[in-house]
Amino acid sequence: MLLSQRRSLLKRIFASKFTLLLIACNIAVYCVAGFLDSRAFESLSQTSFLIDWGGNVPALTLSGEYWRLFTSMFLHIGFLHLAINMLALWSLGIILEARMRSWVFLGVYLLSGLCGSLVTALWHRDEFFLSCGASGAILGIFGAAIVYGLHDRRMGRPHIPPGNLLFSLVLTFGAGFAFDVDNAAHLGGLLSGALLAGIALYAERLRPTTAAVVLAATGMLGVAALAAVTLDNHDRDMQEQLAAARFGRTLGKMGLLGSDQALWKAPSLEECAAGALAAAARDGLKTPDLRRCAKPGDRDLALLARFMPLQYQSCHAQIAGLRKLYTDAAMQEALTAADQYCGTQTQIYRAIFQEDGGEIDPEKARQARLKMNFLLDQKGMYRTDSAPLRAQASALKGMLRRPGELAWAIIGHSGCPYWSCAR
């Protein structure tokens, strides 16, 4: 008797293996992300947490961060959001997966989720909107369950219990009342799930080999269609605005756009470094005395020693991206000057805070800093106030003025994808 019960339990578990796997994946993402990033449990920082970990922000998604269509399906706004969605997935998945082929069930879930994410991105593309959660994919399962239930009832077969459908529906839309409702994802997931279920039912009437070909072709065509629609709606203008906004924020933290945006004590450290470089250039010294700018025991300077080099690394990476977006000759020259400035500043910080800072040419370093300051404000003379130099300054400042309110709002709430950002 006990052996028979165990076999029955194992059979039921195997029949719903992808349901259990998807639930485990969602829970694992929630736990791991929360363990690695404390912002997950801080209400004031949760928006930036969700953006950095892959939430679906339409402007970011359609400007080239297409992976957000997928990653947003596994992110949740708190434990209650996760619990409601997983209960809904469990109530439907254990029954529908046993009725369908397991791989077909997984395909319906993933394609419905991607479709829901894409519909959200297209619907909210002109606003600051953040979407995450498995509800789009779950509504796809719900749509498939309705199609299968109606078909099986018409054929006089045991069908999906209406109670499970109602329970899942209440839970899923209950999550909508508890959190901001993403009706676009719900509608996209529901319709795509129903359509895919209809194709799956048609395949059941075919020979196994033919059915496998039809299902595989449907999956590939579905992915291709989603990719085609996504690429066709690529927002190059927003991509340029976001890149410029990120660069502007980095320049601000470096103190190049005014002391009000600079990191604490960065301007005073810059003054000290500028004085040391000027003295070395005046006296003909090969190595400026930058170590005097570091004050032992100053915690603020210790924080600058840690975080400012990260800003200069970001500067290099952002400039590489900007070169691909802004191809004007004057802009390319201005970006070259900015890249040289960030390289010089990296050397200066190494010389200030490390014993083996390496050699710095005081005059070259001073000129690189003077040129960058001139390009951004034109308040001082850099060697000669030439027409090409004025064109570079105009191009650089024009780029920094490009971002609109939406781009600045998104950048203001986000850092960078967690796996690509040194913290």
User: Which residues are identified as catalytic?
Assistant: 135, 186
CB count within 10 Å of CB 150 equals 13
Return the ∠ at Cα 174 (arms to 46 and 89), rounded to 5°.
85
Round to whole Å and give the CA distance between 181 and 189: 14
DSSP string, 72-109: GGG--SHHHHHHHHHHHHHHHHHHHHHHS-HHHHHHHH
SS3 per residue for the chain: CHHHHHHHHHHHHHHCHHHHHHHHHHHHHHHHHHHHCHHHHCCCCHHHHHHHCCCECHHHHHCCCCCHHHHHHHCCCHHHHHHHHHHHHHHHHHHHHHHCCHHHHHHHHHHHHHHHHHHHHHHCCCCCCCECCCHHHHHHHHHHHHHHHHHHHHCCCCCCCHHHHHHHHHHHHHHHHHCCCCHHHHHHHHHHHHHHHHHHHHHCCCCHHHHHHHHHHHHHHHHHHHHHHHHHCCCHHHHHHHHHHHHHHHHHHCCCCCCCCCCCCHHHHHHHHHHHHHHHHHHCCCCCCCHHHCCCCCHHHHHHHHHHHHHHHHHHHHHHHHHHHCCCHHHHHHHHHHHHHHHHHHHHHHHHHCCCCCCCCHHHHHHHHHHHHHHHHCCCCCCCCCHHHHHHHHHHHHHHCCCCHHHHHHHHHCCCCHHHCCC
Which amino acid, 19?
T
- SS3 (DSSP) at 124: coil
- Return the closest-CA partner of residue 101 out of 220, 221, 226, 208: 208
